[in-house]
Chains A and B, each alone.
Chain A
C-alpha cells in the first residue's frame, strides 16, 4: 500500500515540473506559429539583395510607449514608412531621459497583426540589449528591419510597437 502511494507521488512531482516546462514550451509554440507578435531576428549577411519584391508596398507604422517607473520620453522620428518586401530599411527612435541619474531600460517589441510577426525580421535593434542613459541624455536609437517576401498577400499594413520597461539596477 505504501509502495503504491510512493509510486503515485511521482505523478505530482512530474506535474510540478511540467508546470515549469510549460514556460519554454510556450515560447517554442509561439516561435513556430508566430503567435504573440514576437518578431524574428536575422543576420545582415543572410539577406539576398536580389530578392526585393518591388511590386508590393506595405505600410509599416511605428509606435512607442514607456512603461510606468521609467522617466523616459520615447518616440519614433518617422511615424510610418512605405516598404517593399525583401529590402532592408532603417527607422530611428529618439529617447530622452528626464531623470538626473543613470537609468536603464529594456525595449520589448510587438508586431500586429500577429501573423505578420514571423515575417518581420530585424538585423539590428536597440531592443536586443538593455539600454543605459546618463542623466538628461538624449539618444537616437536605430533599428534595421526587413519584411520577408513570402509574407501573406492579405497584409497591407504592419504596426511595430515598442515598450520600454524599467530595469532595476539591483
Chain B
C-alpha cells in the first residue's frame, strides 16, 4: 500500500524532501511527524521520571531512620501510590512509545507512522492526564493513597474524593496507549519497505508489535476496572462491595488480568533494545533471531495465564496455587532463551564497551537478578512469606529500574547520535553508568534482606532491626536520584552540540536507520522506500 502511494505521488511531492518543521511552539502542538512526537514522548517521560523520582526521594528520606521524622503516614501513602502510578504510566510506558515513534518508521523503511494525526492526539492527551493526576496532591483530601494497585475497597468505600480524578486520568492514559498501539500495529503491518518481510524485521520492531497487541488487549480491561470503581463510588453498583453481592477479591482478579500483561508491556520493548545493542558492540549478528521472536510471543501469550500469582495469599485452593505457580515458572523458559541468546551473541565476539553496551550489559546482569527473585516469588509456598514485603519491592525494582529503565537509557545513548547528529560525551556517559549502577545496587540489594527479614512494604515506620539496611538503601537512593539529574545534563549537552556523528554511528551497527539515513536523519525520511537485502 505504501509503495503504491509513493510511486503515484513521486513527482507531485518531490518538494517535500526539503520541507522542514514549522517554527515555534505550534510546531510541537500541531506536529504529525513521528520524530517530533517521539521527542515529545521522551521528554514527557523524562519529566515524569524526575517527578516520580522526587517522590521516591521523599519515601527514602522518611525511611532513612526508624520512627516518623519528615512526613505524616497519610502523605507517605500518597507518595508510594503516586510514585508507582507516575513511574509505570508516566515514565516507562511513554518512553517506549517515544522510542517506537522515533525508530519503527526508520527501521522498517516507512516515511512516517500510519496514522500521524491520531499519533499527535495520543501524545497530547497525556499531559492533561498527568496534570490531572498530579493535581490531586494539592486537593483537600490529598492524592490517592491506596497503592498503585488500587485494591478495592480501599479505592472505593474508603478512598479520598480525589480518586475520581485518578479514575479519569487512568481512562485518558488507557485511550492514549490504545491509540498508540493501534498506530504501531497499522504501521508495522502496512508500511514496511518492499522486501522487509516479518522475519527480517529488527527485533525492536517485533517486540513492539507484540507489545502493541498486549496493550490493546489489556488496557481496556483496566478501563473496565476503573469504570466499575467509578460506578461503585457514585452510581450505586456493587461490583466490589460485599454488601450488595459483589466481591473485593474479584477486583484483584480483574486488576491483575490487566496487571500481569502490563509488566510485559514494560519489558518486551526492552528486550528489543538489548537485541539491537549487543550485536553491534559484539560485532556479530544476533544469535537465534527466530527463537527470539518465538520466545517473545510465548512470553506474551503466557502473560495472560499467570495473573493470580500476585494473589497467592488471598485464600486460593491448593490446585489453583499449583497451576499458577507452574505457569509462572514456565515463563522463565522463554526468558532464559533470550538471556542465553544475548550471552551467545557475545561469545567470541570482538566486544567493545561504549556507554550503550555498558547499559545493555548492566541490563542483562541485573534484569536476571530480578528474574531470579521473581522465580522465588513465583513459588507459592514461599511467597506466603515474601508477599507484601520489601523482597517484592526489591524484585520489581530490579526488573523495572535496572531492567526497563536501563534499556531506555541504553537506547538513548545508542540512538541519540543518530537522532541529533551529535555524539554524547563518552566520558560522562561512562560516569553516568558506573554512578547509577553502584547506587542502584546499594539502593535495592539490601531490600532483599529487609524483605526476607519481614519488613512490610508501604509502611512509613519499621522495627529497629531494619535500621542499618534502610539507611544504606536510602543513601543509594539519593545517589541514584542525583545520577539521573546528571543524566539530564548529559541529554541537554548532547542536543546542544558535540562531536559530529557519522551516518553509521557505530562500527558494527546494522539496520536501515544506520545504513540508509544521515545523522541526523531528514525531517521526512524514506519518502522513497530503501532497498532491503
Q: How far is the CA of A120 from the CA of B217 in the complex (A)?
A: 39
The reply to whether A8 and B182 contact each other, CB–CB distance below 8 Å, is yes
- Closest B residue to A10 using CB positions: B216
Name the contact of A19 in the complex, choosing from B191, B220, B245, B316 (C-beta under 8 A): B220
Q: Which of A1-46 contact B (CB under 8 A)?
A: 1-2, 4-5, 8-9, 11-13, 15-16, 18-20, 22-23, 26, 33, 35-36
| Contact in complex: A19, B224 (CB < 8 Å) | yes
Distance, CA A9 to CA B220, complexed state (A): 11
Cβ < 8 Å to A, chain B residues 169-202: 178, 182-183, 185-186, 189-191
B480: Cβ under 8 A from any A Cβ: no
B residues 219-256 near A (Cβ < 8 Å) are 219-225, 227-228, 236, 239, 241-245, 247, 249-250, 253-254
Among residues of B, the one whose C-beta sits closest to the C-beta of A112 is: B315
Q: Do B225 and A12 have beta carbons less than 8 Å apart?
A: no
Within 8 Å CB of A13, what residues of B?
A: 220
Contact between B247 and A1 (Cβ–Cβ < 8 Å)? Answer: no
Q: Which of A11, A13, A19 has the most CB of B within 10 A?
A: A19
A9 to B241, CA, bound (A): 32
A23 to B253 Cα, complex, angstroms: 10
A14 to chain B, nearest CB (A): 8
B-chain residues with CB within 8 Å of residue A35 when the two chains form the complex? 316-317, 320
B22 at interface by CB-CB < 8 Å: no
- A4 touching B236, Cβ below 8 Å: no
The reply to whether B114 and A115 contact each other, CB–CB distance below 8 Å, is: no
B216 A16 Cβ-Cβ under 8 A: no
B1 within 8 Å of A (CB atoms): yes
Say yes or no: is B453 at the interface (Cβ < 8 Å to chain A). no
A114 adjacent to chain B (CB < 8 Å)? yes
Note all chain B residues with C-beta closer than 8 A to A36. 247, 249
Contacts of B320 in A (CB 8 A): 35
Interface membership of B82, Cβ < 8 A:
no
Closest chain B residue to A29, Cβ basis: B253
Residue in A closest to B184 when the chains form the complex, CB atoms: A8
> Please, what's the 1-or-0 string for A105-128, where 1 marks a CB less than 8 Å from any CB in chain B?
010100000110000000000000
Taking a contact as CB atoms closer than 8 A, the residue among B186, B216, B244, B253 that contacts A12 in the complex is B216
Interface segment among A56-64, A88-96, A139-147, A159-167: the answer is A159-167
**Residues in chain B near residue A170, CB distance under 8 A:** 236
A1 to chain B: which residues have CB within 8 Å? 1, 114-115, 186, 190-191
Query: Contacts of A18 on B, CB cut-off 8 Å?
Result: 220-221, 224
Total number of residue pairs linking A and B with CB closer than 8 Å? 92
Chain B: which residue is nearest A2 at the CB level?
B115
Contact B249 A4 (CB under 8 A): no
Shortest beta-carbon distance from B320 to chain A in Å: 8
> Do B216 and A15 touch (CB < 8 A)?
yes
In the complex, what distance in Å separates the CA atom of A13 from the CA atom of B223? 11
A67 at interface by CB-CB < 8 Å: yes
Task: Please indicate the chain A residues that have their CB under 8 angstroms from the CB of B189 in the complex.
Answer: 4
Complexed CA–CA distance, A33 and B323 (Å): 15
Nearest chain A CB to B470 CB, angstrom units: 34
A19 touches B219 (CB 8 A): no
Of all chain B residues, the one with the shortest Cβ separation from A70 is B243
Chain B residues with CB under 8 Å of A11's CB are: 216-217
Q: Check B315 against A114 for contact (C-beta < 8 Å).
A: yes
B151 smallest CB distance to A (angstroms) = 16
Taking a contact as CB atoms under 8 Å apart, the answer to whether A22 and B242 are in contact is: no
Q: Report Cα–Cα, A4/B315, bound state, in Å.
A: 44
Given contacts A108-B243, A167-B243, contact A22 B220 (CB under 8 A): no
Chain A contacts of B316 at CB under 8 A?
Answer: 35
Q: How far is the CA of A114 from the CA of B242 in the complex (A)?
A: 16
| CB-based nearest B residue for A14 | B220
* A4–B115 alpha-carbon span in the complex (Å): 11
Known contacts: A36-B249, A165-B242. The answer to whether A12 contacts B1 by CB under 8 A is: no
The answer, yes or no, to whether B257 is at the interface (CB within 8 Å) is yes
Assess whether A106 is in contact with B317, with CB atoms less than 8 Å apart: no
B216 to chain A, nearest CB (A): 5
The residues of A that contact B114 with a CB separation of less than 8 Å are: 1, 4-5
* Residue B218 lies at the interface, judged by CB distance under 8 Å to chain A: yes
Is there contact, CB below 8 Å, between B190 and A20? Answer: no
Query: Known: A9-B182, A26-B253. Contact between A108 and B242, CB under 8 A?
Result: yes
Q: Restricting to A48-93, which residues have a CB under 8 Å from any CB of B?
A: 67
The residue in A11, A67, A166 that gathers the most chain B C-beta atoms within 10 A of its C-beta is A11
CB-contact partner of A22 in B183, B191, B227, B253, under 8 A: B253
How many angstroms from the CA of A115 to the CA of B191 in the assembled complex?
Answer: 55
State A47–B242 Cα separation when bound (angstroms): 29
By a CB distance below 8 angstroms, the chain A residues around B217 are: 11-12, 15
B252: shortest Cβ distance to chain A, in Å?
11
| B182 close to A5 (CB less than 8 A) | yes
* Contact (Cβ within 8 A) B221 A114: no
Which 5 A-B pairs have CB atoms at the shortest separation, nearest pair first?
A19-B224, A165-B243, A16-B220, A15-B220, A19-B221
Give 16 A-B pairs besides A4-B189, A23-B250 with Cβ atoms closer than 8 angstroms.
A1-B190, A2-B115, A4-B114, A4-B186, A5-B115, A5-B186, A15-B217, A16-B223, A16-B224, A18-B224, A19-B220, A23-B239, A35-B316, A35-B317, A36-B249, A115-B317
Sample (25) of A-B pairs whose CB atoms are under 8 Å apart: A1-B1, A1-B114, A1-B186, A1-B190, A2-B115, A5-B114, A5-B115, A8-B186, A11-B216, A15-B217, A16-B220, A16-B224, A18-B221, A19-B220, A19-B223, A19-B224, A23-B250, A26-B247, A35-B316, A35-B317, A36-B247, A36-B249, A67-B243, A108-B243, A108-B245
Which residues of A are interface residues toward B (Cβ below 8 A)?
A: 1-2, 4-5, 8-9, 11-13, 15-16, 18-20, 22-23, 26, 33, 35-36, 67, 106, 108, 114-115, 163, 165-168, 170
